[in-house]
Every structure is written in structure tokens, then in C-alpha cells.
Amino acid sequence: MRIFGLLITVAFVAVSEARGSELYQVDRFKIILERAPFGPVSPTEGAGAPPNFAAQLQLVALVYSNSILPQAILFDKQSNRSYFKAEGESIDDVKIVSIDLTARKVAIQKGLEKATLTFEQKPNTAAPGGAPAQALPQPGVPTPQMPTAPGARRIPFRRSN
């Protein structure tokens, strides 16, 4: 029985040494990488994609007064709530790191992840500093009225507050 144990030990040592000296070459796996059996490899987050915690927050406005610190109005899409927060304050575990009024952006942080919130551009509005989406009527120039069909009657709108 003792000889059998000794043989098993010698076989185990020989196999482990043979495997240890075996060199793995990248060329062996090149065919697998070229064929991509599970589809193309794509990054989970792009370089410009915001982290998950920042996707639920939207920058709505920046408020500044001479008497108080600048505040950012943030809208939480998950809880459907708005928050007025200054630098250093938190929404749950998301901290407002800085508010830049000139660049119109807010830096936020959750744990080690950092993100920057900016105003969302609507498709029918111009970018800041660009041309307006629709020209405003000039004062003193009459605006053209919409033609109405003959016999059509306009119903006045009144609010009942």
C-alpha cells in the first residue's frame, strides 16, 4: 500500500512539472478571437456615456443670488422630485462637488464615480450663443392672422380659477 501511495505521488509531481513547463502561446487562441463565437466585443460604457447614477438626474436650472451660494436645481427621474442643492450638499448618496455658472454645468460624485451634468438641448432650440430657432416679431409690425373658414366661430378660452 505504501508503494502505491509513493507511485501516485511521483505521478502527480511529474504531471504538475510537465504542465508547469508547458508554454501557452497566444497563437493557439488566435482563431477563436478571429471568429468571435459570442459576437463582437463592445465596451459596456462609451467614453462619453454618463455613469448609471448620473443618468437618473437632470440639470434643470442654476440659481444665483448675491446673498446665497449658487444652487443647482436637479430633477430625479426615478423619484419624480426636484432638488435645490448647493456645493457640498447631497441627494441621498450623490454629492454636488461643484457648480460652474459660466460653463453651465454641475459636477457630481457617488463614491469614486464622478460625472458632469449639463443642460439638455431640445431639438427645436438653438445652442447657447447660436441663432434663435424662430425669429421673434418686430415691435410695431403687425403679425399675420390665421385665416378662418366662413361661418366659423372662435370660442374664447377662460380659466376658472
Per-residue burial over 123-132, b = 16 or more CB atoms within 10 Å of its CB, e = otherwise: eeeeeeeeee
- Per-residue model confidence (pLDDT) at position 158: 72
Residue 122 makes CB contacts below 8 A (sequence gap 6+) with none
| Residue 152: pLDDT over 70 | no
**Single pTM value for the model:** 0.46
**Are residues 61 and 112 both part of a single domain?**
yes
133 domain residue, yes or no? no
Residues 23 and 66 in one domain: no
Model pLDDT, residue 12: 76
Residue 81 domain boundaries: 52-118
For the CA atoms of 137, 142, 143, 146, the dihedral, rounded to the nearest 10 degrees, stands at: 180
Same domain, 63 and 9: no
Residue linked to cell 443642460? 119
Residue 13 has pLDDT above 90, yes or no: no
CB 77 within 8 A of CB 58: yes
**Looking at the structure, do residues 114 and 60 belong to the same domain, yes or no?**
yes
> How deeply is 108 buried, as exposed, middle or buried, from its count of CB atoms within 10 A (0-12, 13-18, 19+)?
buried
Q: Residue 78's domain is classified under what CATH number?
A: 2.30.30
In a domain, 154, yes or no: no
Q: Is residue 9 part of a domain?
A: yes
Q: Count structural domains, the chain.
A: 2
Is residue 144 in a domain?
Answer: no
